[in-house]
Structure formats: C-alpha cells, structure tokens
C-alpha cells in the first residue's frame, strides 16, 4: 500500500497535517490512529484550547475553519496580571486592528469534525483502530508495519503521536525532559456574569491560572499548582473549590457559579532532540510538549504542520534529505524561542523571591506602557511568526 506520507497519530496535529497535505499538496496520505472513538481520544478530550490568530488563519487556509467556527468562541481581549501586586497588562483586538486575538475550541468538538473529514477525503486512508509496531527505513522510502499486520510504504513517515511517541521509540530518537514540578488542574467553570470574550492569565504564588472564554457563558480553567495542592483540590467539594478559586483569581469575572468535572496532568517540557530522522519528521507534541502558560503548545505544533506542508508541496519526494533539511532549518528559531519563552515565564512567575516579584512587576508595568517592547511578544502570542 503505497503513499506519499504516512501520519502516525490522528489527533489535532496529525489530522490537520493529513488534511492540509491532501488539500494543499495533493499528497496521498495514510493516517494511523489507535483509538476508534474520537470522543474517547486523549487528544480530543474535555479540554478546551486557545487557537491563536495565526492558527485560525492557517485553518482558514486549509479550508478547515468553517466547520470548526460555529462551535468556537472568539477571544477579543486578554488580561495578564500578578495576584496581589500592582502591575498588569493585556492585549485588545480592536486596539491592534484585528477582528479577534484567537479562538477557544473544545477538543471533543474538533475531534468529531476532523474524524468525519478524514473519512471523507479521497486522498486519505484512515487505519483505525491500528498502531505502528515496526518502522523499516530504506534509502528511497520507509515502511510502517502495523499491529494489524498491514504494511504501509511511503516516502515519509510523520510522527504526530504525542510526547511518548512510539515512532521515536522505534528509531531511538531521544528527548530532554524538564520537570516544572507543577500539575495542571482542568475544569469548565460557569459564570454568573458575561465573560465578554475576554481571556485571563493570572499569576499566583502556586502557579498560573488561565481562564478562557467558552460558549454558554463558561470559562475553561487551567489552574497550575504543586502536587500537594492538587491532592487537596481534588478532595474539595464544589462549594469549597469555587471558594478557593475565587480567592485565588479575584472578582474580575464576578461570582463563579458552577464547576464541571476535574482532570489533571503533570507539567513538563518534553523536547525531542531532533526534528527529523531518515525519512521521518516529528510535529506537534511528538516534537515538543510545552507548559500551558501563554497557551503556546498547539499553536507551536500547528506551525510545525504548516512548515512541513509548505516544504512538502515543493518536493515530489517529501521524505528526501533536502526536504527534511529545509523543514528542520525553518523550524529551529521559532521552536527554540517559544520553548525558551514559556519555560522562562514559568520560572519567573512561579517564584516568590522578593527581588524577582519586584522585577517581574516592573517588567509588566514597563511592557504595558512601552509599545516598542510589545511587538515581538504580541506577535508570538498571536501566532504571527
């Protein structure tokens, strides 16, 4: 079974890549996905993610946004503050001359849309449920041997199978892991007052608290905290949970009315030591998994996808050395800058050492009144890089 590209992993990054390769480059693509029901896929779970303006523009370019937009919530402004201190800053779409700063989508909704599009695309074959068991690299191609016994031949295999990539394991591509010693507590919060399409990033002594606007006057909560605090939080009843969150966040959104089911995961930077191997490329969380601070994870991953699509369009053989070398070169600066920015923000704003507290608040205040400093940070936050 011969393909131009075999994509291992059919969640956000893998599905976006497969559909874009079909539509933009007319490539014949196989997608290998282990989980048949997209609603039970960890990549399409109950979480919501913030798509930057740049990511929305890319999805528009690939003809995917129209199907996602009806269930998305626009972000019109972003408020950034440090709990208990004077400084704050933020971005506003109108002031920047933009229609929006980004959009919040629920992964379960996107999963349903993507699964249908993968099944209907004539250039794409979906092997699901199935998984890769062996990868055989040849000079002119590569073979993916699946658990079902099927062998897929291609010019290129793309690993889009998450931080614990099976592809990376098979070809022994290692990664570095930086443990932030924090966990993310995830939940949906119902508000008493309208959110007015405003997103919030609030830095606290325990870690960042992010609230993203959603449909039905809800907010998606990402509350970063230590493991000991997480165990406490998971034992709280709803009333205590809302009270503790209200105390940590404040009253900018009025009273928190209700909380949905809770989920959590440890926060680490997983960074693949290399983005390419012989006829293999890594994208999305298989390439790097970031701390959720500043919401850069998927937005960095979709830029991996966009770069690979742009480069693959220029080559008949998408797995040849020149193609993968160009992909690697074009991704290096953005990848390094984004990983460094998110890791630095975690350490700066999760530190209660007094000189650091003073310095970061001065930094926020200066940033808010110095437009010359804002450009690069705003562009990266908006995905316009």
Residue 167: inside a domain: yes
pLDDT in tens, 209-230: 999 999 989 999 999 999 999 9
Identify the band that residue 353 occupies on the pLDDT scale cut at 50, 70 and 90: very low
Lowest mean pLDDT among 37-41, 285-289, 314-318: 37-41
Residue 19: inside a domain: yes
Count of domains forming the chain: 1
Residues of the chain above pLDDT 90, percent:
70
176 C-beta neighbours (distance < 10 Å), count: 11
Residue 217: inside a domain: no
pLDDT in tens, 2-31: 999 999 999 999 999 999 999 999 999 999
pLDDT computed for residue 239 by the predictor: 96
* CA dihedral (223, 225, 229, 234) positive or negative: positive
Residue 21: inside a domain: yes
Evaluate whether 146 touches 128 at the Cβ level (below 8 Å).
no
pLDDT computed for residue 42 by the predictor: 59
pLDDT in tens, 265-296: 999 999 999 999 999 999 999 999 998 876 78
Residue 233: inside a domain: no
pLDDT computed for residue 203 by the predictor: 81
pLDDT in tens, 248-270: 998 989 999 999 989 999 999 99
Evaluate whether 285 touches 302 at the Cβ level (below 8 Å).
no
Burial class of residue 122, CB neighbours in 10 A (0-12, 13-18, 19+): exposed
Residue 114: inside a domain: yes
Residue 198: inside a domain: no
Phi, psi (rounded to 5 degrees) for 380: -70, -40
pLDDT computed for residue 332 by the predictor: 95
Tell me which residue range forms the domain holding 68.
2-74+107-176+268-347
Residue 301: inside a domain: yes
Entry pTM: 0.89
Q: What is the CATH number of the domain that holds 141?
A: 3.50.50.60
Mean per-residue pLDDT of the chain? 88
Q: Which residues lie closer than 8 Å to 185 by C-beta, 6 or more apart?
A: 221, 222, 223, 224, 225, 230, 233, 234, 262, 263, 264
Evaluate whether 200 touches 211 at the Cβ level (below 8 Å).
yes
């Amino acid at each position: 079974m011969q393909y131009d590209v075999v994509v291992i992993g059919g969640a956000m990054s893998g599905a976006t890549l497969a559909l874009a390769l079909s539509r933009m480059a007319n490539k014949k693509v196989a997608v290998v996905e282990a989980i048949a029901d997209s609603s039970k896929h960890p990549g399409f779970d109950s979480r919501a993610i913030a798509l930057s303006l740049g990511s929305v523009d890319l999805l528009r370019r690939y003809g995917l946004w129209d199907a996602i937009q009806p269930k998305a919530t626009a972000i019109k402004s972003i408020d950034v503050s440090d709990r208990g201190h004077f400084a704050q800053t933020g971005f506003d779409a109108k002031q920047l001359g933009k229609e929006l700063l980004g959009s919040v989508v629920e992964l379960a909704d996107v999963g349903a849309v993507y699964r249908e599009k993968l099944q209907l695309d004539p250039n794409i074959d979906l092997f699901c449920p199935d998984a890769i068991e062996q990868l055989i690299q040849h000079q002119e191609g590569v073979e993916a041997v699946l658990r079902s016994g099927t062998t897929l031949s291609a010019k290129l295999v793309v690993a889009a199978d998450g931080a614990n990539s099976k592809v990376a394991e098979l070809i022994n591509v290692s990664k570095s892991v930086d443990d932030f010693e924090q966990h993310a507590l995830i939940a949906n919060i119902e508000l008493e007052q309208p959110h007015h399409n405003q997103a919030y990033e609030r830095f606290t002594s325990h870690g960042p608290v992010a609230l993203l606007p959603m449909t039905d006057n809800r907010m998606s909560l990402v509350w970063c905290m230590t493991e000991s605090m997480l165990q406490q939080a998971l034992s709280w009843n709803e009333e205590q949970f809302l009270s503790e969150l209200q105390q940590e966040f404040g009253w900018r959104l009025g009273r928190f009315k209700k909380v949905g089911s809770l989920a959590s995961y440890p926060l680490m930077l997983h960074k693949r030591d290399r983005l390419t191997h012989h006829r293999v490329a890594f994208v999305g969380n298989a390439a790097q998994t970031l701390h959720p601070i500043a919401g850069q994870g998927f937005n960095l991953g979709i830029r991996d996808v966009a770069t690979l699509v742009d480069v693959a369009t220029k080559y008949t053989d998408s797995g040849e050395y020149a193609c993968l070398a160009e992909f690697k070169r074009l991704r290096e600066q953005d990848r390094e800058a984004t990983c460094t920015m998110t890791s630095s923000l975690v350490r700066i704003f999760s530190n209660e050492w007094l000189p650091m507290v003073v310095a970061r608040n001065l930094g926020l205040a200066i940033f808010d009144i110095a437009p010359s400093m804002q450009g690069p940070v705003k562009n990266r936050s908006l995905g316009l890089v």
